[in-house]
Amino acid sequence: MTAADGPPTPAAGDLGDGAMGNGTIAARLTELADLLEIADANPFRVRAYRSAARTFKGLPKPAAELLIAGTPLTSLKGVGKDLAANVATLLQTGTFDSLEQARDAIPPGVRTMLRLPGLGPKKVGAIFRDLGVDTLEGLEAAIADGSLAGLPGFGKKTGETVLKNLALVREGIARSLLARSLPIAESLADAVRAAAGTTACEPVGSVRRRRETVGDVDLSAASTDPPAAVEAFCTHPLVVEIVERTERTARVRLTVDPGRPTDAELVVNAPAAWGAGLILGTGSKMHVAALRDWLSAADLTLGDDGLRRDGALVDSRTEEAVYAAAGVAFIPPELREGGNGVLRVADLERGGGLPELIAQGDLKGDLHMHTTASDGAGTIREMAAAAKERGLSYIAITDHSKRVTMANGLDADRLRAHWRAIDAANVTTRGVRILKGIECDILEDATLDLPDDVLADADWVVAVLHYGLGQPREQIMKRLTTALESPHVDCIGHPSGRLIGKRPGADIDWDAFLDRAASTGTLLEINAAPERLDLSAEYARAAADRGIPIVINTDAHAPSAVGAATWGVYQARRAGLTADAVANTRDWPAMKALLKRD
């Protein structure tokens, strides 16, 4: 399903050069739709803004380029005179009148409440208008003193659900998705790299470890002229406030999304200590502490002025040199989460070393994507062409099954017709094999959304939970077991159904689930959508340990997203997966041999 209301993911052209990207346009339109809906505006006006947001998000080219090329925005689907004018103003000035009016009418904290599962715009509107509550804290108080339950349409359960999810939502506000933070960090790093005397600059901290979410954005640099690097950092266009600044460090506040400030920090070291500074900046704290133990066994101390023995500088120009001095192989940043364990595996004296992790570019297929037949923006042929451009040799078209009515899910007849269209596309498509697939819902009553004889004719079936994620563990397990035991289900997609910072996943008995996946020969997906990353690294590791082949898929809803599995590959690396552990690093015949249907 689409996640049109997620935080904007800044695209490459969205930072630094001043032009607002389609992601940000979509975010502003969605913001206005939310505010209007809370204010109880005409629902069709709200829908117009939402549908326009989807249109802009799915555009192959930045809207600003269209305008420059003289293409009127009114030529876009769902964009009329008013919306075109608003977006043009947005591009020129960073905002537009009706957005500002709506922001004046509804405090930012009110929109935040929409992130809570169970609270929609109508309820949030009632909370704001009838109780005057406009923060999460105020909401918590209103539950405690019983005033929330006193509102018409509210009861005991509403408050309970809110309290259950409050911590998750608060964390979602405090921390950004990696997909949002990494481009910001790279843009800042580019500015520092361009400064005189800078020899290197990298994003460090949780960004470099590719954590799912990121608090502050940290950078490490090496330079012969630290003040120049600090100056370049502080004058980046995203910086709105310099919180703290020294000769070789700076802490700044950025504005990317109003109401959600992000802090960024730069530390500049001498080029001779680049590797040492990079390790300290990257962390994690536990990893650095464990590494220091290993170094101290060799009478070495690690500081951001370099690696030293008896005060004398030891080679610490690179991370490799520092790890070598500790007697261990280089440890990729994604594996620096824990303490001593990874260092023991990497112990060179015992002939240790780490397996080579899967890399961006290793994937040969993408087996979860949508077309215009359900809620995607591209046709079968467009998705195939995009896959070819990305260097993939096969894709599976997996539109929604009929239960997902809002996404125009397919029943058996429409699905079979869709598959005939895929057959036809395969005849004329060179270089990419298009597989006949389906994203089949596992219904609340633990049956599959399509009959067996239909599923049997698919090349590839991804079964998923979309609805009833809050069911008790027993029923969730019954549903997953149905899917795992079906001879026609090849893979479970986004197994938990979580949305990071928004919605907890289903209550799964993971040991039982993974054991059953292994015994039935069912593959498991790492869904690469930044707000899903589902399986998590923890369970992807546990799955791989059981020999379950992992599949990394994009869940693309537009041609531009086909094969863009960046975040999923990072997640797999954090799970310590090699290319071999991931099924779709193989070509299709080899991958097909892994399926239970073969």
Please report where in the chains the tokens 């049956």 appear, as a residue.
447
Query: Does position 429 bind DNA by CB under 7 A?
Result: no
Contact 528, 571 (CB under 8 A): yes
Binding segment for DNA (CB under 7 A), chosen from 39-47, 222-230, 353-361, 363-371, is 39-47
Contact 348, 327 (CB under 8 A): yes
At its nearest, how many Å lie between DNA and the CB of residue 235?
38
User: Measuring CA to CA, how many Å separate 223 from each of 28, 171, 194, 273, 446?
Assistant: 39, 35, 11, 10, 60
Query: Does position 567 bind DNA by CB under 7 A?
Result: no
Query: Does position 404 bind DNA by CB under 7 A?
Result: yes
Q: Which residues is 85 bridged to in the sheet?
A: none
Binding segment for DNA (CB under 7 A), chosen from 149-157, 239-247, 560-568, 576-584, is 149-157
Helix (H) or strand (E) holding 22: helix 22-38
At its nearest, how many Å lie between DNA and the CB of residue 228?
48
CA angle 177, 178, 180 (to 5 degrees): 70
Binding residue for DNA, selected from 158, 181, 213, 554, defined by CB under 7 A: 158
CA atoms within 13 A on the CB side of 156: 0
At its nearest, how many Å lie between DNA and the CB of residue 2?
8
Helix locations, 194-347, DSSP H: 205-208, 226-234, 274-282, 285-297, 319-326, 341-345
Binding residue for DNA, selected from 156, 350, 420, 473, defined by CB under 7 A: 156
The DSSP letter of residue 399 is P
Q: Around Cβ 92, how many Cβ atoms within 10 Å?
A: 12
Query: Does position 504 bind DNA by CB under 7 A?
Result: no
Query: Does position 410 bind DNA by CB under 7 A?
Result: no
The DSSP result for 43-86, as a single string, is HHHHHHHHHHHHHHHT-SS-HHHHHHTT--GGGSTT--HHHHHH
Contact 148, 138 (CB under 8 A): no
Binding residue for DNA, selected from 78, 303, 504, 521, defined by CB under 7 A: 78
Query: Does position 147 bind DNA by CB under 7 A?
Result: no
Binding segment for DNA (CB under 7 A), chosen from 115-123, 240-248, 427-435, 581-589, is 115-123
Binding segment for DNA (CB under 7 A), chosen from 47-55, 272-280, 389-397, 478-486, is 47-55
Query: Does position 210 bind DNA by CB under 7 A?
Result: no
Binding residue for DNA, selected from 31, 49, 273, 308, defined by CB under 7 A: 49
Binding residue for DNA, selected from 27, 29, 79, 508, defined by CB under 7 A: 79
365-366 and 394-397 as β-strands: parallel, antiparallel, unpaired? parallel
Binding segment for DNA (CB under 7 A), chosen from 137-145, 166-174, 345-353, 468-476, is 468-476
Query: Does position 74 bind DNA by CB under 7 A?
Result: yes
Query: Does position 1 bind DNA by CB under 7 A?
Result: yes
At its nearest, how many Å lie between DNA and the CB of residue 496?
12
Specify the residue, 204 or 415, whose C-beta has the smaller distance to DNA: 415
CA angle 356, 362, 365 (to 5 degrees): 145
Query: Does position 15 bind DNA by CB under 7 A?
Result: no
At its nearest, how many Å lie between DNA and the CB of residue 150?
9
Q: CA-to-CA distance for 40 and 567, rounded, in angstroms? A: 37
Specify the residue, 89 or 429, whose C-beta has the smaller distance to DNA: 89
CA angle 267, 272, 276 (to 5 degrees): 55
Specify the residue, 401 or 554, whose C-beta has the smaller distance to DNA: 401
CA atoms within 13 A on the CB side of 515: 6
Binding residue for DNA, selected from 155, 237, 353, 361, defined by CB under 7 A: 155
The closest of 437, 393, 388 to 588, measured between CA atoms, is 393
**How many residues appear in the chain?**
598
Query: Does position 447 bind DNA by CB under 7 A?
Result: no
Binding segment for DNA (CB under 7 A), chosen from 61-69, 182-190, 240-248, 399-407, is 399-407
Binding residue for DNA, selected from 152, 285, 312, 351, defined by CB under 7 A: 152
Query: Does position 444 bind DNA by CB under 7 A?
Result: yes
At its nearest, how many Å lie between DNA and the CB of residue 47?
6
Instruction: Count interface residues toward DNA (CB under 7 A).
Output: 51
Query: Does position 473 bind DNA by CB under 7 A?
Result: no
Query: Does position 471 bind DNA by CB under 7 A?
Result: yes
Helix locations, 327-379, DSSP H: 341-345
Specify the residue, 239 or 415, whose C-beta has the smaller distance to DNA: 415
Specify the residue, 48 or 575, whose C-beta has the smaller distance to DNA: 48
Name the phi and psi angles at 220, rounded to 5: -125, 140
At its nearest, how many Å lie between DNA and the CB of residue 76?
7
Q: In the chain, helix, strand, coil percent, each to 5?
A: 45, 15, 40
Binding residue for DNA, selected from 61, 122, 344, 473, defined by CB under 7 A: 122
What's the start-to-end Cα distance of the chain, in Å? Answer: 29
In sign, the C-alpha dihedral spanning 412, 413, 416, 422 is negative
Q: CA-to-CA distance for 24 and 258, rounded, in angstroms? A: 11
* CA 186 to chain centroid: 17
At its nearest, how many Å lie between DNA and the CB of residue 468?
5
Query: Does position 406 bind DNA by CB under 7 A?
Result: yes
At its nearest, how many Å lie between DNA and the CB of residue 149?
7
Query: Does position 355 bind DNA by CB under 7 A?
Result: no
Q: CA-to-CA distance for 206 and 334, rounded, in angstroms? A: 9
Question: How is residue 596 written in tokens?
Answer: 């239970």
Query: Does position 299 bind DNA by CB under 7 A?
Result: no
Query: Does position 368 bind DNA by CB under 7 A?
Result: no
Query: Does position 101 bind DNA by CB under 7 A?
Result: no
Contact 198, 226 (CB under 8 A): no
Q: Which residues is 556 bridged to in the sheet?
A: 369
Q: CA-to-CA distance for 309 and 327, rounded, in angstroms? A: 15
Binding segment for DNA (CB under 7 A), chosen from 191-199, 294-302, 328-336, 465-473, is 465-473
Query: Does position 405 bind DNA by CB under 7 A?
Result: yes
Binding residue for DNA, selected from 119, 184, 201, 422, defined by CB under 7 A: 119
Q: Which residues bind DNA (CB under 7 A)?
A: 1, 42, 44-45, 47-52, 74, 77-84, 98, 116-124, 149, 152-158, 161, 404-406, 408, 444-445, 466-471, 503
